[in-house]
Amino acid sequence: MSDTILEKMFSLQGKTVVLTGAGGILVGEMAMAAALCGANTVLLDISKNSGRKVVKAIKDKNAETIFLQCDVLNPKNLQDCCQKILDKYGRIDCLVNGAGGNRIEATTSETLSFFDISIKDLKQVLDLNFIGTMLPCQVFGKEIAKQKQGSIVNISSISGFRPLTCASAYAAGKAAIINFTKWLAVYICHNYSPQIRVNTIAPGFFVTEQNRFLLYDNLGQLTQRGQTILDKVPQKRFGMASELTGALVWLLSESSSFCTGAVITVDGGFNAFSGV
């Protein structure tokens, strides 16, 4: 296949792509991929330090990017960022909702029963993962709706299909993202434009700084939980952040023009495996 055909299929040239949680391991890698495919990438993260590190890495590759500090749970903050993006680039074509995560205070363990987790901690995890996806869809999605064209990609998790032990609020939040993605995909086609697509990526197990201690011990050996996970992954390994970028670029680009309301699992086969 010639470079021209590939470029036509997967190019993001001139598109403004907004990514939340872009200072993180997975979305940072996604931002880099979108920038290298020609997008003007706008990195939003609550953490200035981590967001700026990703911006520097992208700029070092001579690709276009800016960072804006943003809390996805703060509507005013989102509105201000939206205005700044429109002032700079004049339009918003794509949105990637990657801000998310779990909290130890909302995770059951030998010392914490589900019955004793505070409502505040449960709500924080549900809010970050679910409301933190809905609000950016409202603010940036409104601009995409005006343009009648674009792509929204929400980041769920394989725990959105079947919950993993210990993290009930996280799993519920990720399940809600899958449900909401389908709803928004239909709503936006019916009411705004069939050229706007809304899809979800459901990553499996990726080693990141946040979960490395759960998967490997100090000597670099798999923990029991790490081994239990790998026993259920037909491809017998954890994913690398770079292995999510193909699905992302495909969903952002015109290559996926007939794909909306879909959930794309990138999990080494985990979700397909019944265990037998």
Q: Which is nearer to ligand NAD, 60 or 209 (CB)?
A: 209
Nearest to 157 by CA among 196, 211, 94: 211
Given candidates 149, 208, 223, 255, which one binds ligand NAD under the rule CB under 6 A? 208
Nearest to 203 by CA among 143, 274, 261, 267: 267
Beta carbon of residue 246, minimum distance to ligand NAD (angstroms, whole number): 16
Q: Which is nearer to ligand NAD, 37 or 167 (CB)?
A: 167
Sequence-distant (6+) residues with CB within 8 A of 122 are: 106, 169
Is residue 100 within the footprint of ligand NAD (CB under 6 A)? Answer: yes
Residue at 228: amino acid letter:
T
- Which residue of the set 170, 187, 192, 216 is catalytic? 170
- Written as six digits, the tokens of 134 are 């809905």
- The values of phi and psi at residue 36, to 5°, are -70, -20
**CA distances (Å), origin 239, targets 173, 203, 210, 245, 247:** 22, 9, 15, 12, 13
Given candidates 18, 19, 26, 184, which one binds ligand NAD under the rule CB under 6 A? 26
Residue at 1: amino acid letter:
M
Sequence-distant (6+) residues with CB within 8 A of 65 are: 31, 35, 40, 41, 42, 43, 54, 55, 58, 59
Is residue 230 within the footprint of ligand NAD (CB under 6 A)? Answer: no
Residue span 128-167 as binding mask against ligand NAD, x where in contact by CB under 6 A, dash where not: x---x----------------------x-x----------
Is residue 206 within the footprint of ligand NAD (CB under 6 A)? Answer: yes
Given candidates 39, 40, 71, 169, which one binds ligand NAD under the rule CB under 6 A? 71
Q: Which residues bind ligand NAD (CB under 6 A)?
A: 20-21, 23-27, 45-47, 50, 70-73, 98-101, 128, 132, 155, 157, 203, 205-206, 208, 210-211
